[in-house]
Every structure is written in C-alpha cells, then in structure tokens.
Amino acid sequence: MAKRKRGMTFIPYDYEAAYNKSLEDMHEFFVEQLFKQGKKVVYALKEIRAGDQFEIEIYPQFKKMDEVPPEGRSIKKDNDKAQRNLNDKNARKYVERLINENFTDRDLWLTFTYDNEHLPPDGDIDAAIKNVQKFIRRVNYQRKKRGLPNARYVYVTAYNPTEEIRWHHHIVMDGDMDMDVVEGCWKQSSRNEVRRLQKDENGLTGMAKYIVEEKNRVKSEKRWNSSQGLRDPDIKVVHSKRPTAKAGGYKKIGTYVETMRKGHEQVREQMLKWYPDFDFTDAGIYYNDFNSMFYIRARMRKRRQQ
C-alpha cells in the first residue's frame, strides 16, 4: 500500500534495488558533489524491531514512478518479474524478522532430509509440503500426550535442481519437547540434524538468512509457513525525528541524511543518539546517479543488562 503523509500519496518501490552503489570507497569530495546534485525530497525512516534486533532503513519517497531510479521500478504491470523479485525479497526479510521476534537459544533448529525411497519428485513442492505438515501433526500429537500446547514453528522448504540440492526442510521450533522425540516424528530419513538455536551479535539473523538464501531453495509462495499465534515484528515509518532521544523538537529525516551520508561513523553516531538503549552493529550507505539520492541502512541490537 502507498504511504500517506499530510495529504500526500507515496508510491511503493524497491529502494534497495534502486540504491545499490556503495559510498564506502568514494572520495569525500565526490560524495559532497553528489549530495549537492540531489533534489529536495521526502525521506522516510523505517524502524523494524524483532526480538533483540533493531533495523533502521532510510530512503526517499516519491509520488510518481518516473522519479524512481529504473532499478527500483518494480510496481508496474509490465514488470512482473521485478515485482515477483520484490515480493520474494520482502518475504525472506519477513521470515528472518519473524524468527528473531519469536525464538531464543532454548528453541530448536531442525534440518530434515529424504532417503531415496521417500524423496519427492523433482519440482513437486506440494508433495514436499505435505510431508512437513504430517510431521507437524505428529509433533502436536506427542505434545498433547505430554500436556503441551501445539508447537510454535517456522519452516522453509529448500530445493534447487540446478544446484543439485535435494529436497530438505529447515524448521525453527520451540524447544518445549525433548529433541529426540521431535526428531522421531520425521519418517522420511534418518540422516537429519537437530540442534539448539544459538544467538550471536545479530541474534538469529545469520541462521535465518542461511535457510532462506536464494540458491538454496525453490521459488514459490508456498515454500515457507508458520504456526498461528506468532508475534509479528514491530514496523514503524516516520518522516521526522528529534536530534537525540531526549531533545525537544523534530527535524525532517532528510536533514539528518546530509550528515549521515558522509560515512559509517556519522551513521553510528546518529543511531546512538536516537536509540541510546541499543548497541550499534553495522551500517551501509548507498546511492544512485539517476537522482543523486541515498538509501541508508543500519542494524542495532538491544543492550543487555549487566
């Protein structure tokens, strides 16, 4: 849906694809010239909270598609492939954030494979998905016997014939039931991997990216699913911020871009001013010659109490 701000309607577009040139190796003089060439535009700031992880995305917004760099023009009737790619990218990001929001180190990461006798036919994702659903029914049956509620889970079905990757399933599931009992509910192979999740400085993002990576699974809207009742990541879009968390008065996001586009250290300093309860992890600054505008992303994590 388009975003509305004071009577204005902004069109949706793929801002990651539109701004894909990194400023990391560009000389400061050229960065300055690039910024001077840019037109005045509304910048949005998107805050995404998922568990201990906090992502920030800053990007320009437009009213007309011809104002968008060509690489980001995915919302068009004559560009179905680009639209599918955007949908796929957004789905993968959502799965990563859903896992961070709902699971911890006490939960499980399951990887289930197939022996030759039970291997689904090439390209038959319906058959593969049915096997996962049967597994989940068996798990819930065992949980009911133990007085436990139904499992909380996210699963991703992986398969790619061009990479010679056989059908397999990655499942993130709550750890309320014994791992051996959970593994015993999978009947299609004995060569599986079951382990506890382990967070790093990016929470569970590294694991989540691995199980949804492009080369490792079939493209399909049905390739992933989740149990009911999981918490959605918290996403908020704003167009102005205070200079610091405690300061009074708001400034348009574009005024902060002028400073942050100079480098990672400037992004880091601003993020810590806005969000003092979080530790800074990393950032990226990107631009496009088409309109000399910027996309800035940052990642932070909730500061742990001593």
Domain boundaries, the chain: 3-79+233-302, 105-198
Residue 75 exposed, middle or buried by CB count within 10 Å (0-12, 13-18, 19+): middle
Once rounded to an integer, what is the mean pLDDT over residues 38-52?
Answer: 88
pLDDT computed for residue 4 by the predictor: 46
For residue 272, what are its two tokens?
């810590």
The first and second tokens of residue 46, run together, are 């998107």
- Spatial neighbors of 9 by CB under 8 A, at least 6 apart, are 2, 3, 63
160 CB neighbour count, 10 Å cutoff: 15
Least confident span in 76-85, 119-128, 151-160, 187-196: 76-85
The per-residue pLDDT for 7 is: 52
| Nearest CA-CA partner of 59 in 35, 43, 39 | 43
Question: pTM of the full predicted structure?
Answer: 0.84
Q: Does residue 69 surpass a pLDDT of 60? A: yes
- What mean pLDDT do residues 117-145 have? 93
pLDDT of residue 88: 77
Summarize pLDDT for 1-26 with one digit per residue, the tens: 444 445 568 998 899 989 988 876 55
Burial group, residue 264, by CB count within 10 angstroms (0-12, 13-18, 19+): middle
Residue 111's DSSP bridge partners are 170, 193
Q: Which CATH number fits domain 105-198: 3.40.50, 3.30.70, 3.60.15, 2.60.40?
A: 3.30.70
% the chain with pLDDT above 70: 84
CA angle 51, 53, 56 (to 5 degrees): 130
